[in-house]
Chain A
Amino acid sequence: MSRTDAQPAALYHRLVVWLLFLILLLPLAGTLLYSLSTSWSATVLPDGLTFKWYLALWSDSRFLAAFARSLLICCAALLLAVVLILPLLFVVHYYFPKLDRLMNILILLPFAVPPVVSSVGLLQVYGSGPLAMVGTPWILIGCYFTVALPFMYRAITNNLQAINLPDLMDAAHLLGASTWQAAYLVVLPNLRKGLMVSLFLSFSFLFGEFVFANLLVGTRYETLQVYLNNMRNSSGHFNSALVISYFFFVLLFTWAANRLNKDKS
């Protein structure tokens, strides 16, 4: 196909992409504008622009506390995930490759059971008795771990399959490395990419998690999304500022993840 033939088609393709992009962007842009407007009700465009909603939000101690709690719970859950999943993956793929099939079924469970359903079960199990954790951040950390597990397991497994793990371990062993040294110096650096991508992905996802947070803990340990829900009756401008702040935070995170990835290769 020659260049001239390609041009109308290319133009059409570009148009479709831009249109789609605009459609996706429109609600966000609307929210952004709303969060910056003094008031906007009966007119096409807002009456005036202001930062006062953002100032109000970022000086609200309840918001800051919720933000910090979300951050803390996400980081704790992901730390737990890294500490447990990395050795698990290594053991499964190096010593017991047959277990990979079992793991693939196991990691589907958090997807198979909707959060609303599993919350009910979790409330039953952890509501009382020796493991009474409902209402504390601990249950969220554990729960978020199971939510992050599939993402992390899959992403890192793909990474592991791209390298020839048994041969790399054999080569390292023959060159005098212990299994720990081989895992640390040879295997781990090759999993960095998958690990980072899955960490940031899981983080963005967990940071916005609402169902578990609301049902299991609610206002007793108010996280960002629960806070947003509790503020639903306050000013829409204020809530818009909250949504936009949240969005930019996640965007920043995703952008940082991308940068980190590119630097590596």
Chain B
Amino acid sequence: MSFLSIRGLHKNYAATPIFADINCEIAQGEFVTLLGPSGCGKSTLLRCIAGLTEVSGGQIILNGQDLVPLSPQQRDIGMVFQSYALFPNMTVAQNVAFGLRMQKTAKDETARRVDDALAMVELGAFAGRYPHQLSGGQCQRVALARSLITRPRLLLLDEPLSALDARIRKHLREQIRSIQRELGLTTIFVTHDQEEALVMSDRIFLMNAGKIVQSGAAETLYTAPVDAFAAGFIGNYNLLDADNASRLLQRPINSRVAIRPESIQLGQTGAIEAQIRSHSLLGNVIRYRVEARGVELLIDVLNRSAADLYTNGQQLSLTIAADAIREVA
């Protein structure tokens, strides 16, 4: 029996379906990510779980209880928003205490729990400040502390890192993950950033156009995309149509083919003649744009030393391992 179970959930806005027949099972303490392009329905799904948006049908069962008839106040769910949604008129401590204030918790217990929550997000020294005096990363940590103070059964994170700059984003995602592990808190994280999803999640639900396209562990999604959308959204797959694939691999292929750029070996001894068109340095990886048999491919090579760099126009050959070639629908 899973902790959170979503059964046949659908949502229409006027006559337009936002998502339809969503089914998923989430275990207690699991960190799952809803990943997908903007407009795929992932945020709406999250809001439906929170009770902020009404569903058009289906069930959301949390620990044996159907949430659909409950108001957001009754669901005992914590949520962090992309916009932080901190109350500007309250100090950090008052923001964090808000949930307890609504529960009419005793003053001394509130104070103690606020201290604990702020210590957890390393913001103890900022209790007396107002949100406008904090940086974006600090605001989001306050929002996290605020959502955790009532000890919710489920934590929902709606693109919490999207408004932050890259360095803070990386730091904060580690902090969120470690707090989540420490509390054993079941968490649903919404993002459109595949890297975030791969790094943070126990399990990923990949969504497109209101449907869950694929679900599974990060490795599965990365190495075994089920269709062209999944291959196109995760990683930087080379997606070839049947004609190009047949020409490149010189055997008849009837479906599209996805090949990961790092699974192609570039060298002098391969079977397929290739020429370097251009290259770009991504840091630890060099990405070559290569033409082989009239097909353009991206190939990622580890950046070991400057001496190994191939020049544009250089004639080389490449090897594609059989198991790296994935036929996708």
Tell me the A residues contacting B by CB distance below 8 Å: 163-164, 167-168, 170-178, 181, 185-186, 189-190, 192
Cβ contact of A177, chosen from B73, B83, B147, cutoff 8 A: B73
Number of contacting residues on B, CB 8 A?
Answer: 26
Near A by CB (< 8 A), chain B positions 85-103 give 85-89, 98-99, 102-103
* Beta-carbon contact of B88 and A163 below 8 Å: yes
* Beta-carbon contact of B73 and A170 below 8 Å: no
Q: What are the 7 A-B residue pairs with the smallest beta carbon separation, nearest first?
A: A176-B102, A189-B89, A167-B85, A175-B99, A171-B85, A173-B72, A167-B83
Near A by CB (< 8 A), chain B positions 79-124 give 79, 81, 83, 85-89, 98-99, 102-103
Cβ contact of B85, chosen from A168, A185, A190, cutoff 8 A: A168
A176-B99, A176-B150 in contact; A171/B89 too (CB < 8 A)?
A: no
* A164 closest partner in B (C-beta): B83
| Bound complex: CA A167 to CA B163 (Å) | 15
- Collect the chain B residues with CB atoms within 8 Å of residue A177's CB: 73, 98, 102
* B77 closest partner in A (C-beta): A174
A168-B87, A170-B52 in contact; A175/B81 too (CB < 8 A)?
A: no
Q: Quote the shortest CB–CB distance from B53 to chain A (angstroms).
A: 10
- Collect the chain A residues with CB atoms within 8 Å of residue B221's CB: none
| Bound complex: CA A42 to CA B24 (Å) | 95
- Collect the chain B residues with CB atoms within 8 Å of residue A189's CB: 89
Dominant SS among interface residues on chain A? helix
A174-B77, A175-B150 in contact; A186/B99 too (CB < 8 A)?
A: no
| Bound complex: CA A234 to CA B255 (Å) | 100
* Beta-carbon contact of B79 and A170 below 8 Å: yes
* Beta-carbon contact of B81 and A171 below 8 Å: yes
Interface assignment of B41: CB less than 8 Å from any CB of chain A: no
Q: Quote the shortest CB–CB distance from A179 to chain B (angstroms).
A: 10
* Beta-carbon contact of B146 and A175 below 8 Å: yes
Interface assignment of B210: CB less than 8 Å from any CB of chain A: no
| Bound complex: CA A190 to CA B87 (Å) | 9
A164-B83, A178-B73 in contact; A172/B89 too (CB < 8 A)?
A: no
| Bound complex: CA A175 to CA B75 (Å) | 10
Interface assignment of B50: CB less than 8 Å from any CB of chain A: yes
* Beta-carbon contact of B72 and A174 below 8 Å: yes
- Collect the chain B residues with CB atoms within 8 Å of residue A178's CB: 73
* A186 closest partner in B (C-beta): B87
Cβ contact of A167, chosen from B51, B81, B146, cutoff 8 A: B81
- Collect the chain B residues with CB atoms within 8 Å of residue A167's CB: 81, 83, 85
Known: A174-B72, A175-B146. 9 other contacts (CB 8 A): A168-B87, A170-B81, A171-B146, A174-B75, A174-B79, A174-B147, A176-B102, A186-B89, A190-B89
CB<8 Å pairs between A and B, sample of 20: A163-B88, A164-B83, A170-B50, A170-B72, A170-B79, A170-B81, A170-B85, A171-B81, A171-B85, A174-B75, A174-B147, A175-B98, A175-B99, A176-B73, A177-B98, A177-B102, A181-B102, A185-B98, A190-B87, A192-B89
